[in-house]
Amino acid sequence: METLIVVVHVLVAISIVGLVLLQHGKGADAGASFGAGASQTVFGASGSGNFLVRATTVAATIFFVTSLSLAIFAKNQSGLAGAGSSPVLNQDILQEVPGSAVSDVPQLDEAPALNSSGDDVPNLPDTPN
């Protein structure tokens, strides 16, 4: 099902690009008002405006629906569907961290003082090795 939605999503995206490129800009209306190019259109003398606008609207709606569907599939596959589950606070990962890795970090009681040279890099207090 997900593969089908991805295929439809890609095809609709390509069709939206094509439909937008086929539409004429506002500057083309000035030439059409004098009759230039009206006899050579595929969609008749009224032009292709209505058809291309409707087709673009339908394609954009399908693209929106497939985007939402793919987002729902991605959410369900990531395991975040349940309430209270958080990827940041995973207890299994926290249990795998060895205790010595955390205890080697020196704890500071107060902020380090700046160098007397006016440098922006603070001096760290001496730690026993």
More confident: 19 or 77: 19
Indicate if the pLDDT at residue 9 is higher than 90: yes
Does 2 reside within a domain?
yes
CB proximity list for 30: less than 8 A, separation 6 or greater:
none
Residue 98 lies in a domain: no
What's the number of domains the chain is made of? 1
- Would you say residue 34 lies in a domain? no
Q: Is residue 26 part of a domain?
A: no
Contact in structure between 81 and 73 (CB atoms under 8 Å): no
Q: Is 16 inside a domain boundary? A: yes
The mean pLDDT value for 82-92 works out to: 54
Q: Which three-class secondary structure state does DSSP give residue 7?
A: helix
Residue 57 lies in a domain: yes
Q: What is the mean pLDDT of residues 5-24?
A: 94
In a domain, 63, yes or no: yes
Average pLDDT over residues 101-129: 64
Q: What is the mean pLDDT of residues 23-52?
A: 63
Determine how many CB atoms are found less than 10 A away from the CB of residue 25: 6
Q: Which of the residue ranges 57-61, 65-69, 93-97 would you say has the lowest mean pLDDT?
A: 93-97
Domain ranges, residue 67: 1-20+49-79
Q: How confident is the model at residue 45 (pLDDT cuts 50, 70, 90)?
A: low
Report the pLDDT value the prediction gives residue 4, as an integer from 0 to 100. Answer: 95
The gap between the terminal CA atoms of the chain, to the nearest Å, is 60
Is 109 domain-assigned? no
What's the pLDDT score for residue 46?
56
